Structure 1
Amino acid sequence: MAQVILLFLLLIAFLSGFFFLWKLPVINPSKDKEEEASISVIVPARDEETSLPKLLASLHEQSLVIEEIIVVDDESEDRTVKIAEEYGATVLSTKESGSTRTGKSAACWLGAQHAKGDYLIFMDSDTQCAQKHAFRNIVAQFKRNGDTGLLSIQPYHVIRSLYETLSIVPNIIVLAGLNRYTFLDKSIPKRGAFGPFLFVKAEEYFDLGGHEATLYTHMDGIAMADLYQKENCPVTVYGGKESIHFRMYPEGIYQLIQGWTKSFTYGAKVTHPVVMLSIMLWVMSTYLVLIGFVDGVMRVDLTYLSVIFITYVLHSLQFRWLMKKVGRFPWWTMAFSLIYISAFLLLYLWAVIQVYFLKKVKWRGREYKT
């Protein structure tokens, strides 16, 4: 009887893995090769000498002419400013602006106030355009959406080091947590957006208060989405495959831990209970497989072990299907979901400790009260 119950739970958990991230829309290629727009790109940057060159180089390669690139230096202590100037960007400084505010939202707001374009694009320093027509396609998509609202893209994760594979499950969970990609598309309230890439119409942005209204949080994507949705302005969120890529936390595993733990619990606040339940069931499935395997070995039940092995293969294939939606990860990682899900749970536990017990998180040498 216990084996039947376990197999039933495995089936439910397996189906849950399809529920929360069934269909992830991406930016489609534009059929209009003459698409034009007056665009200002605003890049908040703090100690980004490693990532910034790749972003700026990709911006200069765009087929759509960019009116201006503004890099807002948020008290960097490395070569961020010099690199921005070498690429011809306009450089602003939060320290020299006279404002008492620092942080990403303050930097975005400062850049927006000096921007000249009809459209504003806010990009994190670790992002980059995946190909030369990326902006042309994004502008076309925004206009197809009615030329209004907030368009956000979660960049497609491309890795270079083994430790970066620890971001597989967090990337999946972060996308699922916005409630936008389930079977119940119209039944579950959609929440949030992704801060690494935001596209807005300048006039509408300033009418709503822009990043000045999000200075209370370092999760500007979620706050900006709330701002737009409160005014009944559409918020659309896309996967970044073939449009916007990034390499998250290239400076090492410590940066990865800091980066993810500052995000987890805030994102969980916008996740619908049904979606959260499906995520929890899917996370549980990898441990159910382990329990089934141990039980089968102890019972010396080859038939049962065969069923568990088939379940493990199906779970691994599903894990691969999910990870391909969010990033370019090695194929062999599909066989080690237990390791990656366990790492995610440890990161999440550390995030809970920081947010609810220590009441602070750290990022880029700063402490943020929670």
Structure 2
Amino acid sequence: MIWYMIGLILFLGLFSGFFFLWKLPLIPLTANSERVPPLSIIIPARNEELSLPALLKSIQQQSIEPLEVIVVDDESTDNTAHIAEEFGATVLSASSANLSQKGKSAACWMGAQKAKGDWLVFLDSDTRFVHRDALRSIADVYLKKNQNGLFSIQPFHETEKAYETISVVLNIMVMAGLNRFSLLKDKLPHRGAFGPFLLTTRLQYEKSGGHQVILDSHMDDIELARLYKSKNWPVSVYGGKGSIHFRMFPEGISQLVNGWTKSLLQGAEGTHPLVHLSIGMWITGVIMISILVILSVVYYSSLLAVLLSLCAYLLYCFQFRWLMNKVGRFPLWTMVFPFFFVIAFIGLYIWAFVQVHIIKKVKWRGRDIKT
């Protein structure tokens, strides 16, 4: 009887991995000649001297030229402002703004106030366009949506060092947590948006109140989506593979831990119970099959048990590879260790809970953020 129960749990776990992230829409490559309204690109930046050059260079290479590129220097202590000026961007100093709050939302609001474009594009500093028609392709999709609502993209994650692969499960959960990409598609209530790339018309941004309403939030993607939904405006979300990529936390594992900690718990709020359940079942399946493989090999109860457990484990490995290919480019070897990456995800989630609910403070870019 117990083996039937184990088999059922493993099956449900495998099914759940398909359930919560079945299909992710991407930006199709186009180069239409339809006129794109003047757009302003606003980049909030705090100590981003390593990431900013790749983004600004990719903007310069785009087939459509933005009206302006505004970099809001959020009290950086490195060469962020100097690098932005070298690329011809307009640099604003957040320290000169008379705002009660600091951080990304305040920097975005400051940039939006100075921007002149009909469209506003908010970009994180670690993103980059991957081909010359990326921005035009995005604009074409937004034009087809009648320039209506909040348009967001989660960049495709590029990794270079081994420690960066720790983000793989977290990236998967970020996608799954919006309730939009499951097997049920539009039958679940949608939530949130993706903060690294946000596009909106100036008119709707101003009518919604924009970042001014959410100055005390470091989760502008979730809060802006709520603002737009309160106005009955659509919130569109896409995957960035082939259009916008990023390299998360290139400065080391400490940056990775702090970066995920400041957003992990709030990002999980509002995820539908069915999606939560499917994520829990998938994690349970990964852990259970990993333990079964170890036990079957160590105790070698029977050759059949070893072969069956290994076959089930390989199914989870291939599914893990299928999931990670949706969100980023990770080394091939990562697919063999789903247990390790799931445990890393659980560890970061527990640490985030301690920071947010017990310590009530998280650290990011040398700045303490009270929770």
TM-score range, shorter chain: over 0.9
Query: Matched residues in 2 for 1:46 and 1:63: separation?
Result: 28
Matched letter for residue 261 of structure 2: T
> In the alignment, what sits opposite 1:84?
84
SS at match of 2:64: coil
Query: Matched residues in 1 for 2:28 and 2:212: separation?
Result: 31
SS at match of 1:171: helix
> In the alignment, what sits opposite 2:143?
143
Moved more, 294-303 or 223-232: 294-303
Contact persistence 2:293–2:313 (CA under 8 A): no
Distance change in 2, residues 1:128/1:122 (3 Å): same
> In the alignment, what sits opposite 1:303?
304
Contact persistence 2:109–2:212 (CA under 8 A): yes
SS at match of 2:187: coil
1:333-352 alignment, distance < 5 Å: 333-352=334-353
1:262-273 alignment, distance < 5 Å: 262-273=262-273
> In the alignment, what sits opposite 1:358?
359
SS at match of 1:211: helix
Matched letter for residue 353 of structure 2: V
Query: Matched residues in 2 for 1:255 and 1:15: separation?
Result: 34
TM-score normalised by length of structure 1: 0.98
> In the alignment, what sits opposite 2:192?
192
- What whole-Å deviation, never above 9, does each CA across 1:71-130 have from its counterpart, x for those lacking one? 001101110110010000001111112323210000000000000101000001011111
- What whole-Å deviation, never above 9, does each CA across 1:260-300 have from its counterpart, x for those lacking one? 11111001112111100101111111111123224434361
SS at match of 2:95: coil
> In the alignment, what sits opposite 2:30?
30
Query: Matched residues in 1 for 2:290 and 2:97: separation?
Result: 56
Query: Matched residues in 1 for 2:270 and 2:93: separation?
Result: 32
Aligned-pair Cα RMSD in Å: 1.1
Query: Matched residues in 1 for 2:99 and 2:2: separation?
Result: 63
Matched letter for residue 230 of structure 1: S
Query: Matched residues in 1 for 2:262 and 2:303: separation?
Result: 45
Contact persistence 2:156–2:328 (CA under 8 A): yes
> In the alignment, what sits opposite 2:99?
99
Distance change in 2, residues 1:136/1:31 (3 Å): closer
Query: Matched residues in 2 for 1:321 and 1:35: separation?
Result: 37
SS at match of 2:102: coil
Query: Matched residues in 2 for 1:295 and 1:130: separation?
Result: 45
- The Cα shift of 1:35 comes to 4.2
Contact persistence 1:191–1:222 (CA under 8 A): yes
Contact persistence 1:150–1:198 (CA under 8 A): yes
Distance change in 2, residues 1:63/1:69 (3 Å): same
Where does the alignment leave 5 or more consecutive residues of structure 2 unmatched? none
Contact persistence 1:35–1:136 (CA under 8 A): no
> In the alignment, what sits opposite 2:290?
290
1:15-26 alignment, distance < 5 Å: 15-26=15-26
Distance change in 2, residues 1:272/1:253 (3 Å): same
Query: Matched residues in 2 for 1:76 and 1:296: separation?
Result: 54
Query: Matched residues in 1 for 2:327 and 2:281: separation?
Result: 20
Query: Matched residues in 2 for 1:332 and 1:98: separation?
Result: 50
- The Cα shift of 1:4 comes to 1.8
Query: Matched residues in 2 for 1:346 and 1:217: separation?
Result: 24
SS at match of 1:113: helix
Contact persistence 2:300–2:306 (CA under 8 A): no
Contact persistence 1:104–1:218 (CA under 8 A): yes
Query: Matched residues in 1 for 2:242 and 2:261: separation?
Result: 27
> In the alignment, what sits opposite 1:257?
257
Contact persistence 2:43–2:123 (CA under 8 A): yes
> In the alignment, what sits opposite 1:157?
157
Matched, 1:214 2:214: yes
- The Cα shift of 1:31 comes to 5.2
Distance change in 2, residues 1:167/1:204 (3 Å): same
Contact persistence 1:179–1:188 (CA under 8 A): yes
Query: Matched residues in 1 for 2:47 and 2:89: separation?
Result: 16
TM-score normalised by length of structure 2: 0.98
